[in-house]
Amino acid sequence: MTFSTRGGPTSPETVETGTTVPPSSQPPVALDVDGLRKIYRSDNGDVEAVRDLTFSVSRGELVCIVGPSGAGKTTLLRCIAGLLDLTEGSVTLDGQSVDGPPEGMAVVFQEYGRSLFPWMTVRQNVEMPLKEKGSRRAERREKVDAALEAVGLADVSTAHPWQLSGGMQQRVAIARAVAYEPSVLLMDEPFAAVDAQTRADLEDLVRELWRRLGVTVLFVTHDIDEAVFLGQRVLVLSNRPTVVLEDVNVDLPDERFQLETRSSPRFAELRARVYELIQAAKKGVRSTAEV
Q: Of these, 47, 120, 193, 280, which contacts ligand ADP (CB under 6 A)?
A: 47
Residues 182-241 that bind ligand ADP (CB under 6 A): 240
- State the Cα–Cα distance between residues 93 and 84, nearest whole angstrom: 15
Q: Of these, 30, 33, 49, 57, which contacts ligand ADP (CB under 6 A)?
A: 49
- State the Cα–Cα distance between residues 123 and 126, nearest whole angstrom: 5
| Least distance between ligand ADP and beta carbon 74 (Å) | 3
Q: Which is nearer to ligand ADP, 24 or 42 (CB)?
A: 42
3-state helix, strand, coil in the chain (%, to 5): 35, 25, 40
Q: Which is nearer to ligand ADP, 69 or 288 (CB)?
A: 69
| Least distance between ligand ADP and beta carbon 53 (Å) | 12
If binding means CB under 6 A, how many residues of this protein chain bind ligand ADP? 12
Q: Which is nearer to ligand ADP, 164 or 248 (CB)?
A: 248
Phi first, then psi, for residue 233 (nearest 5°) are -135, 150
Helix axes 166-179, 122-133, angle to 10 degrees: 20
Residues 230-249 that bind ligand ADP (CB under 6 A): 240
- The CB density around residue 117, as the number of other CB atoms within 10 Å, is 12
The 10 Å CB-count burial string (b at 16+, else e) for 126-146 is: bbbbbeeeebeeeebeebbbb
| Least distance between ligand ADP and beta carbon 242 (Å) | 8
Contact letters (x/-) for ligand ADP, 21-40, by CB under 6 A? -------------------x
| Least distance between ligand ADP and beta carbon 219 (Å) | 13
Q: Which is nearer to ligand ADP, 150 or 220 (CB)?
A: 220
Q: Is the peptide bond before 241 cis (omega within 30 degrees of 0)?
A: yes
Distance of CA 270 to the CA centre of its chain: 20
- State the Cα–Cα distance between residues 72 and 260, nearest whole angstrom: 32
Residues 57-116 that bind ligand ADP (CB under 6 A): 67, 69-75
- Taking CB atoms within 8 Å and a gap of at least 24, the contacts of 283-289 are 286/238, 286/245, 287/245, 287/246, 288/246
| Least distance between ligand ADP and beta carbon 235 (Å) | 13
Q: Which is nearer to ligand ADP, 26 or 42 (CB)?
A: 42
Residues that bind ligand ADP (CB under 6 A): 40, 47, 49, 67, 69-75, 240
